Amino acid sequence: MGSGIAQVAAAAGHRVILADAQKGATARARDSMASALGKLVEKGKLAADARTALLGRIDFIDAPLGGAPAMYSDCGVVIEAIVEDREVKRTLFAALSGVIAPDAILATNTSSLSVASLASAATNPDRVIGVHFFNPAPVMPLVEIVPALSTDAAVTAAARALVDAWGKTTVLATDTPGFIVNRVARPFYGESLRILEEGIADCATIDWAMRTIGGFRMGPFELMDFIGNDVNYAVTSSVFEGMFYDPRYRPALTQRRLVESGRLGRKTKLGYYDYRDGAEMPKPGEDRELGGRIVDRVLVMLINEAVDALNLRIATAHDLDLAMTKGVNYPKGLLAWCDELGAPVVLELLDSLYEEYGEDRYRASPLLRRAAMAGATLSG
C-alpha cells in the first residue's frame, strides 16, 4: 500500500521519500513498481521517459520505525501505511511529530483504527488526519478523508484538495470504526457467512447469486479470498470492538477457523476455495429463486447499514453512495438502490428477518422506518 501511494504522489509530480523499517523492503518495492510501470509502457499506456522520471522522483530508503530520521523534516505531507496496530502507529506518530515541519500534514492510511487515538500521540494533533486509500492505490479511485476531533479544518481542506489534485475521488467521513466503506460493507461478508453457516447455500452458489442476480463484480467468498481472510477478519473484529460489540458487526466463527488454520485465501492457495494447481472450482447451484432470496437478504442488510450511517451523520448521502461505487465497485449506491426498491419494501424484508430470528443484528435503522412511513427518498 505504501509503495502504491508513493507511486500516485510521484505520478502527480511530487518528490517522494518511501521508507520502510524492514531491511530490503523498499528495494523490493522499487523492483515491483518498476516492473508494473514497465508493463504500462509495453501496453502503450505510459511513455518510457515518463516511467524513468516517475521512478526518479522517489527515494527508496530503509529507515528504523521509531527513529523518524531528519530526512522527513522537509516533507509537506507524511503518510504512514504501516502495520494496522494502534500502539505501533502511535509510536511512529510520536516520533514523526518531533521532526516534521510545524505546518506539515501527518496522515494515516488506517482502514479502521481511531484517527483521534493516533493523533493524540503526536505533539501537533491538529495536523493529523486520516487519508485512507484503497488497494491497489494507483488503480482504485476512492480515498476516504477522515478528520479527527483535533484536526484543523484547514488541514482537512488541504488534504482533500491535494488528493483530488492527484486524480482521486475523495469522500469525507467522520472518525468512526470502519469509516464509510469498511463499515457499510460488513453485511456483504457477515450475512453471506450466516447464510453459509445455516446451510441455505454453499459458497459457490452465494457468489453466483451476488454476481449474476445482484450485479456485484465479485461474490463475497471469492472477494474475501482475494482480500485475505486474515485481513477481512481483522477489519470485522476491529469494527465489532470499536462499535461496542454491536451484534450487527459480529465476526463469523467460520472465518475465524479459516484464519486459525492458515487458509487465508489466494495468498495461501486455500481459503473458501482451493487455488492449488489442478484444483477445480465448485459449480454453483443455479436456482434463481434461491439466488434471489440470497441477494434480497444480503442487500437489505447492506442498505440498512448505509441508511444508518446516514442517520448517524457518518457522511453525506452523496458521499455514502459514491464511496460504495468507487471504493468497492458496487453496481449502485445503496441509498439510490433503496429508493429504487422503495423504503417500505426494504423495511418489510428486514422486519421479517428480525421477526424470524429475534436478533438485534436485524434491527431496522430509525431513518429507514421514518422514510418508509413518509414515502421519502434517501439518496438526495
Share of the chain above pLDDT 70, in %: 98
Catalytic sites, residue numbers: 111, 132, 144, 182
The one-character DSSP state at 283 is P
Residue 6 has pLDDT above 80, yes or no: yes
177: preceding bond cis by omega (within 30 degrees): no
**pTM for the structure as a whole:** 0.95
Share of the chain above pLDDT 90, in %: 92
The whole-number pLDDT of residue 112 equals 84
**CB count, 10 Å around CB of 346?**
27
pLDDT for 213-239, tens place per residue?
Answer: 999 999 999 999 999 999 999 999 999
Residue 68 has pLDDT above 60, yes or no: no
Cβ proximity of 200 and 298 under 8 Å: no
Residue 64 has pLDDT above 80, yes or no: no
Residue 306 has pLDDT above 60, yes or no: yes
* Cα 291 to Cα 210: distance, rounded to the nearest angstrom: 8
Q: What are the residues whose beta carbons fall under 8 Å from the beta carbon of 309, sequence distance 6 or more? A: 180, 183, 184, 315, 320
pLDDT for 308-331, tens place per residue?
Answer: 999 999 999 999 999 999 999 999
* Cα 291 to Cα 263: distance, rounded to the nearest angstrom: 26
Instruction: Decide which of 3.40.50.300, 3.40.190.10, 3.40.50.720, 3.40.50.1820 is the CATH code for 2-179.
Output: 3.40.50.720
Instruction: Decide which of 3.30.470.20, 2.40.50.140, 3.30.450.20, 1.10.1040.50 is the CATH code for 180-380.
Output: 1.10.1040.50
Q: Averaged over 258-287, what is the pLDDT? A: 97
Residue 344 has pLDDT above 70, yes or no: yes
Please state, rounded to an integer, the average pLDDT across all residues of the chain: 95
Cβ proximity of 108 and 174 under 8 Å: no
Single out the residue of 231, 303, 305 nearest to residue 271, CA to CA. 231
* Cα 355 to Cα 183: distance, rounded to the nearest angstrom: 24
pLDDT for 171-214, tens place per residue?
Answer: 999 999 999 999 999 999 999 999 999 999 999 999 999 999 99
pLDDT for 108-153, tens place per residue?
Answer: 999 989 999 999 999 999 999 999 999 899 999 999 999 999 999 9
Task: Give the pLDDT band of residue 66 (cuts 50, 70, 90).
Answer: very low
Domain ranges of the chain: 2-179, 180-380
